[in-house]
Homo-oligomer: A and B are copies of this chain.
Amino acid sequence: MPNYETVPRDVVEALCVPGSYQTAVHFGRHNTPMPSLEALAEIMELLRAIVFPGYFMESDITPDNITYYTGAKLDKVLFLLTEQLKRGYCFFCETSLEQMCPTCASKPQENAYELIRALPDIRRLLALDALAAYEGDPAATRYGETVFCYPSIRVMINHRIAHQLYKTGVPLIPRMISEMAHSATGIDIHPGAQIGEKFFIDHGTGVVIGETCVIGNNVKLYQNVTLGAKSFPLDEHGNPIKGIPRHPILQDNVIVYAGATILGRVTIGAGSTVGGNVWLTKSVPPNSKITRPITEV
């Protein structure tokens, strides 16, 4: 009869004999720990408050104190983000364990700095996204309401930050930032996706936007829209070839209604409307109105 109060020694061994865990264990590189979700959450909270002062963190923002708060938060982001980017680089590094390699030593600070420099433009885009939410949702009663509590803004703050980091080659961290928003909103935007001005997703749960999507200005999506890949070219080993453009292009002023699925490197021409539950795997010209071809009940 087993002694239920004692950890079975054979189980500990089965989990720890060297052969047992080779794919399951991560041995750190450069004595650097794994990225921290808590730190990334703090960074994102700071960035949210930098972009939309008065809405997040301190409420009593005035023209007199905004410079102090913004400067202090930027400095803190620079400090915290550099550390997390370093962890991301080291996690992906393939050089020797002990010695810090030149890339892991220099790129994190450089990339963090590039994000800082991009913030004014990111703020401009996010303010327009909030405007798009306000104009596009009849249930929205104030511009500020969309900034403060719409999932579309929440996910776009993360995406526009993550996309900037993705563009400068940061590994892992952009994906983590995207997954944080995915978990909170049900909207899964790959950090690689390029998205124009005044973008709005209503409700949003179940939306998927793939890595190589290109989305123009004034585009609006509803819940459960998929902008995905159709199939993956395989390499000689039968594995999907990574990094090939394989997701849709949506030109300006496109609307895609709930549940629609658009797959592959197709182009939805400017001003087109894709109806709910539509399944679409070909390009369509500008100003198309794609609806379900089946007779409704």
Interface residues, chain A, CB within 8 Å of chain B? 2, 4-9, 11-16, 18, 20-21, 23-28, 31-34, 50-56, 58-76, 78-79, 82, 91-92, 109-110, 112-113, 116-117, 119-120, 123, 126-127, 130-131, 135-145, 147-151, 171-172, 175-176, 179, 182-188, 190, 192, 203-208, 210-211, 222-224, 226, 228-229, 232, 239-244, 246, 258-259, 261, 263, 276-282, 284, 290-297
Contact = CB atoms under 8 A, between A and B. Distances in A.
Contacts of A279: 276-277, 292, 294, 296-297
Given A24-B52, A183-B184, A297-B282, A16 B67 contact: yes
A278 to B, nearest CB: 7
Contact of A188 (B67, B208, B223): B223
Given A71-B65, A246-B138, A296-B282, A175 B203 contact: no
Nearest to A289: B297
Contacts of A62: 5-6, 27
B119 A11 contact: yes
A261 B258 contact: yes
Given A25-B61, A68-B72, A239-B135, A297 B284 contact: yes
B8 A117 contact: yes
A55 B246 CA distance: 31
A127 B25 CA distance: 9
Contacts of A284: 297
A282 B296 CA distance: 9
Contacts of A127: 23-24
Give the most central of A7, A210, A276: most B CB within 10 Å.
A7
A27 to B, nearest CB: 6
A7 B52 contact: no
Nearest to A36: B59
Nearest to A207: B205
B138 A229 contact: yes
A211 B79 contact: no
Contacts of A113: 2, 4, 8
A7 B68 contact: yes
A191 to B, nearest CB: 9
Nearest to A297: B290
Nearest to A274: B297
A297 B268 CA distance: 13
